Amino acid sequence: MPSVFEQVLDPANRADPYPLYRQLRTTPVTREPDGSYVVSHYRDIVALLHDPRVSSRDALTLRGFISTDPPEHDRLRALMNRHYGPPATPARIARMAPDLLAVVTGLIDGFTGRTGVDLVDDFAYPLPVTAICRLLGVPLDDEPRFHTWADAIVEGIGPQATDDARRRADIAFADLARYFTGLLDTHRHTPGDDLLSAIITDPDVRDAMSPDELLANASLLLIAGHETTVNLITNGMLTLLRHPAALERVRHDPDFVILTVEELLRFEPPVHILVRRALDDVDLDGTTIPAGATIRLVLAAGSRDPDHVPDPDRFDPDRHDPRRPDFNARQSEHLGFGGGVHHCFGAPLARLETQIALTELARRLRNPRLRTDPPPYRPNPVLRGPRNLPVVFDGIAPATAED
């Protein structure tokens, strides 16, 4: 009989893995038949995310600083962040808000005259792709090329990936590196106001990274910068359609969407599993994880750990409201963006995109409802989200309408 974690990996359980996560938590650390160790409690996952004996190196198909350890990780991340966020460039993401709203408005305007859409293909995918292309300075017309590479790379991520899938991911990374070689050369000679231009024309950043490091990290930002946000937006709208009272509050209360996105990151996160390797023996809850072992951190199980948050299977955005009398800051924390030194680099952009997207969908779609529940899911258990989200509605409110 397959183990509980092996059942988690089974695509047949992708629509609702949470009962299996509850079973996982009955044994906080389990050794799998393949020799890996699965960790499912919030406190243990947090501890391992901050443990220097636990490594990200060579644990993922993704390249760049996400697959390195300190001090190399800290050096590369700081260089990539210099023109992305605080302290050197605190306003770059905030300045994107008007453009993001314009993209969202245009996508929803495109629903006019229709009675239904696939929110993945028609909205949740094109929004973050457009956003990351504008941020980085990648021509949106090249999307068909890197879409194919991104699909191959994502298929190579996670414990379910076959050797053939990992080989295809390696080929895709090589193709993407060649693409970025030409694109970075273009930005070097004709810079714009985008992130890649800022990096390639700043000698303090450019000269501190090898050409291979620069290509790997540019590829990382392109792939990671849209794949997870697609899932966050799609899971978000799916959850709101299942909770109409919350959808109505998002529609009328601009501040409520901030709490909603935080709860979505806890309740239906875009990334369910992280992979790490033990550099030394690690004792955890009476189990010794030996040096060299693969560790699978089930983030989505940890964020619904009843030892961390009360009533964890209830969708409750208000639990993140500091004005609430019973607010507990620790209980409002989640693993939706990972943690430790590898806390999601793109979190500020993902939050902003999702807040704008859900607000406008809630405000402008008249009487939206699911055509199919549950929808079909992607097979990947790591980056979990619907493959399609068919939604029907009675009409589209004008972009300038108040209701």
Rounded Cα gap, residues 121 and 325, in angstroms:
41
Q: What is the pLDDT of residue 59?
A: 55
Q: Torsions phi, psi of 194, nearest 5?
A: -95, 170
Sign of the alpha-carbon dihedral angle for 344, 349, 352, 358: negative
User: Is there a contact between 260 and 237 (Cβ–Cβ < 8 Å)?
Assistant: no
| Tokens encoding 47 | 């501890």
Q: What is the pLDDT of residue 146?
A: 87
Does residue 42 have a pLDDT over 50?
yes
Q: What is the pLDDT of residue 63?
A: 74
Q: What is the pLDDT of residue 266?
A: 97
Q: Which residues pair with 369 in a beta bridge?
A: 392
User: Is there a contact between 398 and 111 (Cβ–Cβ < 8 Å)?
Assistant: no
Measured CA to CA in angstroms, residue 296 lies from 1, 60, 93 at distances of 20, 11, 32
Measured CA to CA in angstroms, residue 177 lies from 78, 110, 206, 217, 268 at distances of 21, 34, 16, 10, 32
Q: Give mean pLDDT, residues 158-178.
A: 86
Q: What is the pLDDT of residue 306?
A: 97
Rounded Cα gap, residues 269 and 383, in angstroms:
9
Q: Produce one character per residue of 344-369: b if its CB has 16 or more CB atoms within 10 Å, e if not.
A: bbbbbbbbbbbbbbbbbbbbbbeebe
- Residue 341 makes CB contacts below 8 A (sequence gap 6+) with 70, 73, 74, 77
With cut-offs at 50, 70 and 90, classify the pLDDT of residue 64.
confident
Mean confidence (pLDDT) of the chain? 93
Rounded Cα gap, residues 230 and 143, in angstroms:
15
With cut-offs at 50, 70 and 90, classify the pLDDT of residue 330.
confident
User: Is there a contact between 44 and 284 (Cβ–Cβ < 8 Å)?
Assistant: yes
Rounded Cα gap, residues 256 and 253, in angstroms:
5
- Residue 95 makes CB contacts below 8 A (sequence gap 6+) with none
Q: What percent of the chain has pLDDT over 90?
A: 79
Does residue 77 have a pLDDT over 70?
yes
Q: What is the pLDDT of residue 61?
A: 56
Measured CA to CA in angstroms, residue 317 lies from 17, 64, 230, 321 at distances of 21, 34, 20, 8
Q: Give mean pLDDT, residues 257-272.
A: 97
Measured CA to CA in angstroms, residue 7 lies from 23, 267, 329 at distances of 11, 20, 33
| Tokens encoding 120 | 């993945």
Q: Give mean pLDDT, residues 38-57.
A: 96
What are the domain boundaries of the chain? 4-392
Q: Give mean pLDDT, residues 185-213.
A: 93
Q: What is the pLDDT of residue 169?
A: 87
Query: Of 92-101, 120-129, 162-171, 351-360, which range is least confident?
Result: 162-171
- Residue 149 makes CB contacts below 8 A (sequence gap 6+) with 172, 173, 175, 176, 179, 223
Does residue 403 have a pLDDT over 80?
no
With cut-offs at 50, 70 and 90, classify the pLDDT of residue 58.
low
Q: What is the pLDDT of residue 152?
A: 87
| Class level of CATH domain 4-392 | mainly alpha
- Can you spell out the DSSP letters for 181-226? HHHHHHHHHS--SSHHHHHHT-HHHHTTS-HHHHHHHHHHHHHHHH
Q: Torsions phi, psi of 187, nearest 5?
A: -65, -30
Helix (H) or strand (E) holding 80: helix 72-81
Does residue 297 have a pLDDT over 80?
yes
Q: Give mean pLDDT, residues 377-399.
A: 95
Rounded Cα gap, residues 132 and 182, in angstroms:
18
Q: Report pLDDT digits (tens) over 106-160.
A: 999 999 999 999 999 999 999 999 999 999 999 999 998 888 988 888 888 777 7
Single pTM value for the model: 0.94
